[in-house]
Structure 1
Amino acid sequence: MRVKFCGTASLADMECAVDAGCDAVGFIMGVTHKSSDFVTPAEAARMIRRLPPFIEPVAVTHLQETKDLIELVKESHCTTLQVQNIVEPTELDAVRDALPYVRIVKAVHVMDVSAVETAKRYEPYADALLLDTRTPEKLGGTGLTHDWNVSATIVAHSAIPVILAGGLTPENVGTAIRKVRPYGVDVHTGVKKDGVRNRERTLAFAREARNALPGEPDR
């Protein structure tokens, strides 16, 4: 089970995720609403220089314009781009043409069963889908779960990897994985304590995620 820790805002955050054996770390940049874990591309680039091999740096953004997405990746030196906002599928192709080395993850907000069709629409244009929860004010980092039945349906019919996010915690991630069977899981607020990433909760999240499906090979 792949594990990504999002909202990496400091070297301490990054080291905490690395110590937990993460597969990826997310840097929130280019936001349209307030985020306490927002960093600039330059700040992300400085942290990425300290990132050990085989851990993927992910640019997580609300930006929508193709040129802005391309510039964000170039400035931050991330190798995966996670698009949280509404972007036309063909625009993802334009990003890929400009940055052929970058993997594209498209967020799909699971608000109701219409998410199944949205996922199918983006599937041909992305390398993976990320199933998240949103509110009228926030595109992610809400701390809220969604209907895992809908997520399970998307996973069962997707031809590309699907990552589960939205309100995951060390306490519920095992249940979520067994229900949804995703390629990986993504956590942000669920491993915080007093507003900052907590080492014990981070370690516990990774442990619970990887022990959720005993006897099954890492997907």
Structure 2
Amino acid sequence: MTKVKICGLRTNADVVAVNEAKPELAGFVFAPSKRQITAKQALFLRQNMNEDIQTVGVFVNPTLEQVLPLLKSDIIQLVQLHGQQNQMLITKLQQAGAKVIQTIQTDAKLVTKPDYVMYDGRKPGSGNVIDWQRINQLEQPLFLAGGLTPANVVQAIAIVKPDFVDVSSGVETDGHKDATKIIQFTRRAHYARNEIRN
């Protein structure tokens, strides 16, 4: 079964929708973005979220000092890194008990050793679909992001066969998370392999 990450949660309504849909992961954006939230907001959302759903902190070129307090307070369990690849940071985060997701583009080489690799577009969260045919299978478990929606996620899984699919703008309506789309996306991704076989 392909696992699901719903990214860019900002409100308690978002958490209610995610609790109903039951994806494996939920993402909090701490990098500059229209979806950026504070540690205090993330703590509130985490406290209202189903314990079975792990949370991911999304960062662009962070310092260790920016990330560690969120890990130590259990606001997040995984760290998603955008920007320059930094093995020293990855190693220190792993030593602190975090699983690390390194985001790269389809034309980039992986030069670090994260726990997971995410293929995404040059402007994460923009809703632009990346070229699924250009994705390389690596040693690490693979996240597929970039323009996924309830309408195309089954096709994306059939072509790429990722371990995880990641969505943000694809489950929004007018810039806000849409509970119906979150549920549709999660269920279609979870049952995609069955749909492909039929």
Equivalent position of 2:167 in the other structure: 187
- Taking the aligned partners of 1:69 and 1:150, their CA distance within structure 2 comes to 32
Contact kept, 8 Å, 1:131 with 1:165, in 2: the verdict is: yes
Shift of 1:76: 6.5
Pairing 1:172–2:135 present: no
Shift of 1:39: 0.4
- Identity of counterpart residues, as a percentage? 27
Shift of 1:215: 8.1
Contact kept, 8 Å, 2:12 with 2:45, in 1: the verdict is: yes
Shift of 1:9: 0.4
Contact kept, 8 Å, 2:81 with 2:102, in 1: the verdict is: yes
Instruction: Count how many residue pairs are aligned between Structure 1 and Structure 2.
Output: 195
Equivalent position of 2:132 in the other structure: 148
- Taking the aligned partners of 1:51 and 1:214, their CA distance within structure 2 comes to 28
- Taking the aligned partners of 2:83 and 2:71, their CA distance within structure 1 comes to 16
Shift of 1:86: 1.2
Normalising by the residue count of structure 1, what TM-score does the alignment of the two structures yield?
A: 0.83
Letter in 2 for 1:88: N
Shift of 1:167: 0.4
Equivalent position of 1:14 in the other structure: 15
Task: Go from structure 1 to structure 2 and tell me whether the alpha carbon gap of 1:36 and 1:75 turns closer, same or farther (over 3 Å shift).
Answer: farther
- Taking the aligned partners of 2:58 and 2:74, their CA distance within structure 1 comes to 11
Pairing 1:107–2:87 present: no
Pairing 1:79–2:63 present: no
Shift of 1:72: 4.4
CA RMSD of the aligned region, Å? 1.8
Pairing 1:205–2:185 present: yes
The runs of at least 4 aligned residues of structure 1 exceeding 4 Å deviation read none
Q: Render the CA deviation track for 1:120-150: whole Å, top value 9, x for unaligned.
A: x22xx21111111014xxxx10101111112
Letter in 1 for 2:162: P
Shift of 1:85: 1.8
Question: SS state of the match for residue 147, structure 2?
Answer: coil
Letter in 2 for 1:145: V
Shift of 1:211: 2.2
Question: SS state of the match for residue 213, structure 1?
Answer: helix
- Taking the aligned partners of 2:70 and 2:61, their CA distance within structure 1 comes to 9
The higher-RCO structure (CA 8 Å, 6+ apart) is 2
Normalising by the residue count of structure 2, what TM-score does the alignment of the two structures yield?
A: 0.91
Q: Render the CA deviation track for 1:76-116: whole Å, top value 9, x for unaligned.
A: 7211111112132232112223x1x2111111122x3xx2x
- Taking the aligned partners of 1:76 and 1:189, their CA distance within structure 2 comes to 26
Contact kept, 8 Å, 2:93 with 2:99, in 1: the verdict is: no
